[in-house]
Amino acid sequence: MALLKGRLEVRPLREDDTDAVVAFYEGARRADPTVGGLSAEGWRRFLAQPVNRGGRDFRVAELEGEVVAVVTSSLRDREHPVIRHFRLIVAPAHRRRGIGSEVLRSLVELDPPGTGIVLQALCPEEWTAGAAFLTARGFRCVESELEMTYEAPALEPTACGKEVTVERASEPAAFGSEVASIHNHAYAGTLSFVPYSGEEMSQLLSGGAELWIASSGGRLVGFCHLEGEPEGVWLESVAVEPSWRGRGIGMCLTSQALAAAGVGEGHPARLTVTSDNLPARALYRRLGFVDTHETRRFRAGRDEVSAHLASTRG
């Protein structure tokens, strides 16, 4: 490990940090393409997501005025156990200098000891050094998220039964409460679950989302949430009311939404699904999606990580 020269400051995110954060991610992406780039608009939309609470728990590390690390963090306090989810990126040129440990320490200090809070991070399969960093600080892999892609040939829509109507919602935010209810029932108990209130879901759907809904007798029984990407479509979520499952509604919703979005050769659709969600993986494979990437989910108790960091400090 190289010695850290200069004064390192780990501080809360500021409102005027957008340009510096975007430049940091772009520089990190050029050196390490697995990091992924970020636009100013994308960053603002990310901050506006209800779970991120305006970035109040984000931290920026500066070395002699240069941004060298960013950690995005959200406290999911409506779950049990309470989860602090984070993503920590250190500039490639400044790795293995103790910066990651200092930033992680600032994250741990956000929450008091003895509260049972669990820290959670996602680590792409290529980040072998990142996985080793987490493991050395008490984290363990609990499951994987699989990225799946569909791009050829053009996807053909399937029809639903006569009792179900599928259509694109002209005002997605208006369905926030109904979508939140279905979402919360569908994903409760999974490691990736983030509960939403109706107001929070409306906010999420108001940022350019495309929403397809399945209804019967005026009641919403399923939905498919898409987001546009520069070179394709991101399938954010598909869910069906428990009592309506097993009738092909998920297949119908997804195929119609993706077909209308022009998914096919040169215009792919992508999604992530947990490795344990076998029914969803089977649905996507029937549609023609294939596995393209794996990201591992790591977890550790807040106090356990604090103890590891204390034992290695100095």
Domain ranges of the chain: 8-144+296-312, 152-267
DSSP 8-state secondary structure symbol assigned to residue 76: E
The pLDDT tens digits along the chain (314 residues) read 555 667 899 999 999 999 999 999 999 999 888 888 888 988 998 998 888 999 999 999 999 999 999 999 999 988 788 999 999 999 999 999 999 999 999 999 999 999 999 999 999 999 999 999 999 999 999 999 999 999 888 778 888 888 999 999 999 999 999 999 999 999 988 888 888 999 999 999 997 899 999 999 999 999 999 998 888 999 999 999 999 999 999 999 999 999 999 998 889 999 999 998 898 999 999 999 999 999 999 999 999 999 999 987 64
Per DSSP (E only), the strands in the chain are 8-12, 59-63, 66-76, 83-90, 118-124, 140-150, 165-168, 210-216, 219-229, 232-240, 269-274, 290-301
Would you call 263 helix, strand, or coil by DSSP?
coil
For the entire predicted model, the pTM comes to 0.81
Domain 152-267, architecture per CATH: 3-Layer(aba) Sandwich (3.40)
Strands 269-274 and 290-301, bridge-based pairing: unpaired
Sheet of 290-301: strand order equals 8-12, 59-63, 66-76, 83-90, 118-124, 290-301, 140-150, 269-274, 232-240, 219-229, 210-216, 165-168
Same topology for domains 8-144+296-312 and 152-267, yes or no?
yes
Task: State CA 3 to chain mean position distance.
Answer: 33
In angstroms, the Cα distances linking 152 to 86, 155, 250, 267, 268 are: 34, 7, 20, 8, 8
Going by C-beta distance under 8 Å and a sequence separation of 6 or more, which residues neighbour residue 32? 92
Count the Cβ atoms, other than its own, within 10 Å of residue 4.
Answer: 14
- Looking at CATH, the fold of the domain delimited by 8-144+296-312 is given as Aminopeptidase (3.40.630)
In angstroms, the Cα distances linking 37 to 28, 31, 220 are: 8, 11, 36
